[in-house]
Structures are given as C-alpha cells and as structure tokens.
C-alpha cells in the first residue's frame, strides 16, 4: 500500500482475499437464504419446533407447495431438521439445526436494517422513477 492509498475496509479485505471457490460459496448460500421464503421460515422456526400446518400458518402467503420446497432445500443444506414420528396419522416436526440457528443474528440485523431504511428506499425509488 502506498502512502496515498486508503486502507481496505473489512469487507474489501474479505472480498479481495477470497478464492473463486469461496466466491461461489457466498453466491450459493446467499441465493438460498435470500430467496422469498427461506429467511421467513428460518426466523419462524427460531421460536420453537413446529408442525407443517403450524409453520404454514405463521408464514403468511406461502403456499403448501412452496413451503414444502423451501423446507426440503433448507433440510438439504443442513439448516432445518425434519423429524417424522411413527404415528397414525404420521406427525412431522421441523426445527432449526445448530447451523440454522447461527443465521438468526445476521438475519435479524438485516431485517432491522430493512425496516429502518425502507422509507428512504421507497422515497429514492419514487425520486428515480419520477426522473423518467
């Protein structure tokens, strides 16, 4: 670094030092948790273990099919645990895994940021759209 160069931020240091494999990992994971439903399901399961119907009732607007697909992907990624009980009718419960629980703090921070900045974002969109 020369005398006139600014020091790198933590973000810049992280991004400039990651390998192509790490960049792919970042994109892959962010695509999973950044989809329309995954974070809502994860945050909902942070409260307690839920059955499918209970979970669907706590995530407004999600269809049965989308909840099924989302849960399968989260289970595949090791973020959600699915437990089937040998009962008639079968009972299935979903819970966060320890790995899934580690998403709560960053997800909450992002949610708080989104809520706090949403009015400004909407105003910026309106201003941008008005410029044509």
Summarize pLDDT for 89-131 with one digit per residue, the tens: 889 999 999 999 999 999 888 888 999 999 999 999 999 999 9
67 within 8 A of 37, measured Cβ to Cβ: yes
Residue 80's closest CA among 90, 67, 91, 89? 67
Note the pLDDT of residue 124.
97
Angle at CA of residue 50, ends 48 and 51, nearest 5°: 170
Global pTM exceeds 0.85: no
Q: How many CA atoms lie within 13 A of 84 on its CB side?
A: 4
- In the prediction, which pLDDT does 14 show? 67
What CATH class does 37-130 carry? mainly alpha
Note the pLDDT tens digit of each residue in 4-52.
677 777 766 666 666 677 778 888 888 888 888 999 999 999 999 999 9
Sheet holding 50-51, edge to edge: 50-51, 91-96, 80-85
Burial-class residue 60 by CB neighbours within 10 Å (0-12, 13-18, 19+). Answer: exposed
What is the domain partition of the chain in residue ranges?
6-35, 37-130
């Amino acid at each position: 670094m020369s005398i006139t160069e600014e020091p790198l931020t933590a973000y810049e240091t992280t991004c400039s030092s990651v390998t192509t494999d790490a960049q792919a990992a970042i994109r892959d994971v962010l695509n999973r948790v950044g989809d329309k439903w995954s974070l809502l399901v994860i945050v909902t399961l942070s409260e307690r273990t839920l059955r499918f119907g209970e979970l669907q009732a706590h995530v407004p607007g999600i269809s049965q099919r989308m909840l099924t697909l989302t849960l399968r992907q989260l289970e595949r990624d090791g973020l959600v645990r699915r437990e089937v009980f040998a009962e008639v009718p079968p009972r299935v419960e979903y819970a966060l895994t320890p790995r899934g629980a580690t998403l709560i703090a960053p997800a909450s921070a992002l949610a708080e940021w989104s809520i706090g900045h949403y009015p400004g974002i909407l105003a910026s969109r309106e201003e941008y759209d008005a410029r044509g």
